[in-house]
Chains A and B, each alone.
Chain A
Amino acid sequence: MPDPTVTVRMFGALHTLRKERGLSTVADVVIPVEGLTATDLAELLDLPLDLIEGVFCNRTVYPMRHHIAPGDRVAFVPKGTPGPHRFFLGLYAAGKEEGEG
């Protein structure tokens, strides 16, 4: 049986938000063995969805409907990443998909 936790990092405005709440910016979260969506995970952490543009899962960017499984390495990226990386990494596409979906 896999370890039912995921490690979650939070950057930018989400990083600041966690600090303001007196919480670590890196969290180990126990999730259901069948996994959950990134949106559900963000809600579990009480992160404001309107601030999030995309999610890294195991170092690749996905839209927020992406399925997170136990053992994954996760990072939430807020809106506002500068540079061409917004395109090169797929953050722009992830955000657009969320907006349209």
Chain B
Amino acid sequence: MREIVRVNMATGAISKEPLPAAWARYGGRALTSALVFKEVPADADPLGPDNKLIIAPGLLGGTAAPNGGRISIGAKSPLTGGIKESNSGGTAAHALGKMGIAAIIIEGVPADKTVSYVLRLFPDGMIDLVARHDLKGLGTYETVAVAKGIEAAEHRFSDKASFITIGPTGEMGMKSAGIAMTDPHGYPNRFAGRGGLGAVMGSKGLKLIAIFEEGLKGTEHADKEAFTAAVRKFANALTTHAVTGTALPTYGTNVLANIINEAGGYPTRNFSSGQFEGVEGISGETMREITLERGGNVKHGCHTGCVIQCSRYYVDKDGHYMTKGPEYESAWSLGANCGISDMDTVAALDRKCGDIGIDTIEAGVMLGVYMASGKIAFGDGPAALAALDEIGKGTELGKILGDGAEATGLAFGVKNIPVVKHQGLPAYDPRPIQGIGVTYATSTMGADHTAGYTITSNVLAVGGTVDPLKPEGQAALSQGLQIATAMLDSLGFCIFVAFAVLDMPEAFEAIHEMAAAHTGEAWDADALMQLGKETLTYERLFNEHAGFTNADDRLPKFFLEEKLAPHDVVFTVTDEELDSVYAFVPEVAAQLGIK
């Protein structure tokens, strides 16, 4: 039986309770969203005592499920004002899963704001909360280094420790603050970045969560033999498919830069153009060449159990680690969107974001807006770094910039602010790629590319036949994408697995075979998609209770009015089509008995 760990930061009380039977199929995003729906008042102050930070491994967390070690973190978002689930790699999910923990709920706020708290979970089941005075204001890298030193001195630290932490921006309550997870090599470079969840963790006075899994045995399965067979089938599919077996491990996600640029959908200089003349300098192909020349690592997993291995480390000219190899969205936001075409500059910006603990997408969108205001120039890397320094120091300017793109645009009178539900748009312009625009507009998360990242077209009978420049079919495609993504997030899978699932029926079979063999319950394709629908229903209803209406499911007007070169198109999907994406919610809500 999986358990929920409840930590009250006001009283210091820590308790365990069984996962409700009705939620036995829930993990990851399904569980964080169901818990936020049930326990957080929709009108709660996101940084107040009534909000709760919820951390959950996927349903298959702690098992050997390939690429099944992602973690979900949920709360009411200080950035969007709605529900948030932010998803990350790292090693924490696997460790929590092995401990039998379905979720950690952090609730309440401490009376003493001068103290930083560390929550520690030990392999014998003991959990404690320790007050510390030496972690306040530290960056994520230094926090983890200090924590490792302390725990090593107490003979508790080993390579089997996972850390979850925030930087100073989270402590200062900034709306672009994220939460960092240590990767398999102990670097705090994997982020639940979006939506300001780092500020929620900071509001709880919680600086660090340390999870020690030394000596823990693997998770039990209802049918071990069947689970092992399904794992083999799934791993074989992932390692032989062109996307997951070759392209991603070779170039990483940033292989997309040249492709999206060629499609005319690579937002450049605050979404004023769809092509960037400097794309080659920040492309995945160039990053790979630079990294190999300098002796850096170009292939490893970002989380426990990853067999795709699309992560890399970016190193400086002397071969020293700087940061993770910037993902496509980070290289875009801190590169093309700022008119910056130098990979070393992008990597320095990425490292700075990671250390002060802010979301690289929101940071890059903010910088693009700030540059559009004329306060600093497009292409000025040192000025961009200085702006991030202001955020890390919490200066008057830094507090504005640290609250993200919308706050910055409003403060400096910028006309075109690319946000939906107050969250910055990621790395795909919705005018020449209309389908992603539907997802940006309607996602429960605010503008989010991962909300509709992938699909199993053989299950949903959609995908691949729409014209990217025209509105027809985009709403149905986006709906299928969003449901499938919510399902994968709930199981704890990396969203990249579905590329193999799309082309290889045995890969999709392997997913419900793993779920069935692990839980002992019946799982099939319909059950998987129902999981996705239920997750989105909790999220949609929470947002409705928080005051969101269909009017919030819209792109900023400039995407509908200003043509984007080189295709010279605007976003043309109608409001009626956008409003059709969540048509399934009333029926699923009735099934769940919620409203």
Contacts and interface: CB of A to CB of B under 8 A. Distances in A.
A and B associate: yes
Contacts, number: 127
Contact of B464 (A11, A19, A83, A92): A92
Contacts of A16: 250, 285, 288
A88 B285 contact: no
A90 B496 contact: no
B428 A82 contact: no
A9 B253 contact: no
Interface in B440-461: 449, 452-455, 457
Interface residues of A, number: 31
A59 B566 contact: yes
Contact of A81 (B259, B264, B469, B566): B259
Given A87-B455, A90-B467, A93-B464, A11 B259 contact: yes
A101 interface: no
Given A12-B285, A15-B285, A59-B262, A88 B468 contact: yes
Interface string A1-34: 0000000010111011001000001000000000
Interface in B466-483: 466-469, 477, 481
Contact of B428 (A53, A85, A86, A90): A85
A85 B464 contact: no
Contacts of B457: 87, 92
Given A16-B285, A82-B248, A88 B259 contact: no
B568 to A, nearest CB: 11
Contact of A88 (B243, B247, B289, B433): B433
B254 to A, nearest CB: 10
A82 B247 contact: yes
Contact of B262 (A9, A13, A87): A9
B246 interface: yes
A88 B464 CA distance: 6
B247 A12 contact: yes
A43 B314 CA distance: 35
Contacts of A15: 258, 285
A93 B499 contact: no
B247 A84 contact: no
Interface in B246-273: 246-248, 250-251, 253, 255-256, 258-260, 262-265
A56 B258 CA distance: 11
A48 interface: no
A93 B502 CA distance: 12
Contact of B477 (A53, A59, A87): A87
Nearest to B285: A15
B253 to A, nearest CB: 6
B320 interface: no
Interface string B102-125: 000000000000000000000000
B439 to A, nearest CB: 8
A12 B262 contact: no
Contact of B255 (A60, A81, A96): A81
Nearest to B469: A60
B248 A87 contact: no
Interface in A38-76: 53, 56, 59-61, 75
Contacts of B243: 79-82, 86
A85 B432 CA distance: 11
B262 A90 contact: no
A12 B251 contact: yes
Contacts of B242: 53, 78-80
Instruction: Output the residue of B284, B439, B477, B499 with the most chain A CB within 10 A.
Output: B499
Contacts of B255: 11-12, 80-82
A87 B435 contact: yes
B567 interface: yes
Contacts of B439: 84
Contacts of B477: 87-88
B246 A11 contact: no
B463 A89 contact: no
B246 A80 contact: yes
A75 B275 CA distance: 14
A56 B453 contact: no
Interface string B227-258: 00000000000000011001110110101101
A98 to B, nearest CB: 13
A51 to B, nearest CB: 9
A84 B262 contact: no
B465 to A, nearest CB: 5
Interface in B374-433: 428, 432-433
A85 B259 contact: yes
A59 B246 contact: no
A81 B264 CA distance: 16
Instruction: Output the residue of A15, A80, A96 with the most chain B CB within 10 A.
Output: A80
Contact of B248 (A80, A84, A85): A80
Given A87-B477, A90-B464, A78 B247 contact: yes
Given A12-B255, A56-B262, A80-B242, 8 more contacts: A11-B285, A15-B258, A78-B242, A83-B256, A84-B435, A85-B260, A89-B263, A89-B468
Interface of A: 9, 11-13, 15-16, 19, 25, 53, 56, 59-61, 75, 77-90, 92-93, 96
Interface of B: 242-243, 246-248, 250-251, 253, 255-256, 258-260, 262-265, 284-285, 288-289, 328, 428, 432-436, 439, 449, 452-455, 457, 463-469, 477, 481, 496, 499, 502, 566-567
19 contacts: A11-B255, A13-B247, A13-B250, A56-B263, A60-B469, A79-B242, A80-B248, A80-B255, A81-B255, A82-B255, A83-B453, A84-B435, A85-B259, A87-B435, A87-B464, A87-B481, A88-B468, A92-B464, A92-B502
